[in-house]
Structure 1
Amino acid sequence: MKTKLLSILFSIVSSFAFAQNIAAGQTSDFSSGVQGWIHQISNANDPVQVPTGGPAGAGDAFLRVTNSVMTGSAGSKHLCINMDAEWTGNYTAAGIVAITCDVQNPGTETLHLRVALNKSFPNWAASANPIVVPPGTTWTSITFPLNSSDLVISQGGATIADILADVDQIRIVSNDGTSPTDPIHKGQGGVARISELDNITAVDVLGVSQFETSKEFSISPNPATSKLNVYLPSNTENAVISVFDVLGKRVYKREIDALTSSSIDVSNWNSGVYLVRISTDHNTQTKRFVKQ
């Protein structure tokens, strides 16, 4: 009997010892399936792993999230959720201050992406302001800050601090905040949307600092008529500038190294909206500009 009790106690202790709660650097790169990111509702389109075509190109897997157009049905909401142990727990104690990820929008509808966090039903906090990702946007890096000033309570009586200290579920949703029936921690339905996600990562203060430094670049003038100036941070190396039209066709590509700016002659380009993508060994970011 003593041996049996010791065996049971060892099993319980082991289960706690090997449980993986949220920690800085936790990443879903989708190299081994959907890695716990699901929709949850039985009549929904579940997210799927796409084995190639992520930010790193051929062989880089990513997650594709689509929603049906069953208006009013929970299964029609555009979202993906994760309730696995490695994405839950005490975000505050782990020092998690943001969620970063790569995203692209191959669909025809604008995405309004937010992160949402749950602490048991019905307590939800979500991004106060969405990140807008227009149709045709190719892979770009985004950040969802988790400071109390960046989140709002969308349901329940818990405080933001309460929720961050005991997260049961994390979501990435598309919600522009205009729906009278869908709080911002829920995805919006009604129309079909597509979001493609990769490298979803929980980061601490150091991670955010590195992320922000690596992605700084600016463009001017915007709109542009003859020349578009691209300004890179001084520590940028092995960068590639690519420009795409709204249909996703690449109209310009140039490799640059150790430069702080680059000028692109756009005088002969058609008027319209273009996407400027900067890719380095560590990061990819996209900005829009208008050619007049």
Structure 2
Amino acid sequence: MINKAVNVMCVKVPLPEAFSLPRKFGISWGCFSQDAFYGLDAVVAEGRFKGLYFRYVLPYDAIAKRYMAEYGQRERRKGYGISPTLAEALYELAERHEVEVVIEKTRYKTYYYAVVDGVRIDGRLCYRESLRGCISEVLRRVKEQREWEEQLRRQRIREEVLNALTEWYFRCFGETANPLKVAKRLEEYFALCQMRSAAKREFGVAPTERDLRRAFWWEGEWGGRALSCFVTEREAVCKWGNAKWKFAVRAGADGVYIKPESPLYQEWIKVAHRCGDS
């Protein structure tokens, strides 16, 4: 039996002359790695300096000892690779910003771009700009992207809050409402919700929001016994001993009156006074 030892040492392969950015950091070679690029052998070069991180994965033919693609300075043109000015700008920005250079090579196309503070920067940027102009343009794009992301975050939070208010209102009142209206008067709606819950628990009624705004509690005496009522604009539900009674409601010039709905009772009980009424 033959045991194959796994060689974990780096087999160094010089990088193509066209790759100038790694040389700024003293890196001119990569490590040969089998199946590193979608099943193909490749040379992997990576490094970090002043916050800048780069990683190249270049398909490589170990038998022919050459790269599968040609990389030459004479081929550098607009639309191919990262522009030299952008490479210089990334080097300058790396001291204060998190910078990463990325090369993604597919079967048909290679994509070059940079990531600055988490924001993707197209590698075709700055083919005509000066170095200072390129740095300003990169920072402007990072700022705009951050502002856009913050706007999306706030919009997402706003939608979540409004959706939560809509759901809460429906659970409480059994109907839908404008969540913006609820948000502006949340304390008021919360008090109405508690009032509705108490009315449902004590008297078995579930008044609407409109009824709740005109409702009140009243406690008094009727027939020599304590009477407790939940009074709305249309009707009143009262507890008289262990029994629950429905009372009719009448709003007069001097106040609000209630009486049992049974025709046997004709006496109206005054449960609320108008302003100025003694």
Same fold by TM-score, threshold 0.5 exceeded? Answer: no
Which structure's CA Rg is the greater one? 2
Length-normalised TM-score, structure 2: 0.25
Counting helix residues as a fraction of each chain, which structure ranks higher?
Answer: 2
Length-normalised TM-score, structure 1: 0.24
Instruction: Select the structure with the greater relative contact order (CA < 8 A; seq sep ≥ 6).
Output: 1
